[in-house]
Amino acid sequence: MLTKMQKNLVVPGRKKPYVMAHRGNQALCPENTIASFQQAIHDGADILETDLQISADGVFMCIHDSTLDRTTNASGLVSDYPLEKLKTFSAWNHRQGFEKETIPTLEELAAILPPDVALALELKTDAFLNEDIANQLIQALQTYGVLNRCLVISFSKARVLTIHRLAPDIPAGLITMSGLRPDPDMQIVGPFWPLLFLNPFYMKRAKRQEQIVCPLDPAPEPRLWFYQRIKVDAVLTDNPQITCKKIRKYENN
């Protein structure tokens, strides 16, 4: 269970910086698959991050691209296919041994989420600007029993604010490649990691604004010493197995 998420991300029993598994463990498994998420849980990730697209019949699907071409054995837009058809495609992403993996639904991911692990949802489509769709997502999270440990993130400020305005207890996070200062409207900020070096006062300002900081850095190992020093709240990683081990090593030194 998470508490006071709108001001302070707390994962009980776990230490900061939290490890956010970027599309699960995509270093060892195809991204955004149940295998990838289960591997990340096994690795010790504190937060699972996934991307959300929407099927033709309105089901929330865990897949990064708007098209199927890169990560599945099919082609075309995710939004052109109903769930039943999407489930016939392999989400193997050309990884041998994972041919039976399919595109998970948000419900399937929520079903395997441990009670002490949070869920970060990257909103990948402007459909989330529609309040009816936003309310459907909020209701789904409530039904799945994970609403109190979810956060929404995006490169689009408008998408996350649509959700946050309707459900203020769901923190909104902005990922940015260029913002030298943390956006004061956000509860979570995800600056591209060089920005933290370019602006040494970034963390101080974010803490003053009671914001959660998770740098956009899917291969963070060379900079973990820096993140530990400036006390970021979470680190993103493509390989939570390695990142978790490295963080524990730093903690024990």
Number of Cα atoms under 13 Å in the Cβ half of residue 1: 2
122 within some domain: yes
Q: What is the pLDDT of residues 2-21, one digit of tens each?
A: 434 444 567 777 889 999 99
Catalytic residue among 42, 64, 94, 164: 64
Question: What is the average pLDDT score of the chain?
Answer: 94
For range 55-76, the mean pLDDT: 98
Is residue 174 one of the residues assigned to a domain?
yes
Q: How confident is the model at residue 61 (pLDDT cuts 50, 70, 90)?
A: very high
Does a structural domain hold residue 1?
no
Distances, alpha carbon 110 to alpha carbons 152, 185, 192, 193, 243, in Å: 15, 28, 28, 29, 23
Asked if residues 163 and 173 have their Cβ atoms less than 8 Å apart, the reply is: no
Question: Residue 13: its pLDDT value, please?
Answer: 74
Question: What is the per-residue pLDDT for 3?
Answer: 39
Q: How many domains does the chain have?
A: 1
- Tens-digit pLDDT profile for residues 136-165: 999 999 999 999 999 999 999 999 999 999
Tell me the residue range of the domain where 139 lies.
Answer: 18-252
Instruction: Choose, from 22, 42, 94, 164, the residue flagged as catalytic.
Output: 22
The yes-or-no answer on residue 64 being catalytic is yes
> What are the residues whose beta carbons fall under 8 Å from the beta carbon of 79, sequence distance 6 or more?
53, 54, 55, 56, 66, 125, 127
Judge whether 42 counts as a catalytic residue. Answer: no
Q: What is the CATH number of the domain that holds 180?
A: 3.20.20.190
Per-residue 3-state assignment (H helix, E strand, C coil) for 101-125 = CCCCEHHHHHHHCCCCCEEEEEECC
Q: Is residue 7 part of a domain?
A: no
Distance set, CA 50 to CA 103, 120, 163, 200, 253 (Å)? 11, 6, 16, 30, 32
Could you read off the pLDDT of 90-142 as tens digits, one per residue?
Answer: 999 999 999 999 999 999 999 999 999 999 999 999 999 999 999 999 999 99
**pLDDT for 4:** 40
Q: Is residue 31 one of the residues assigned to a domain?
A: yes
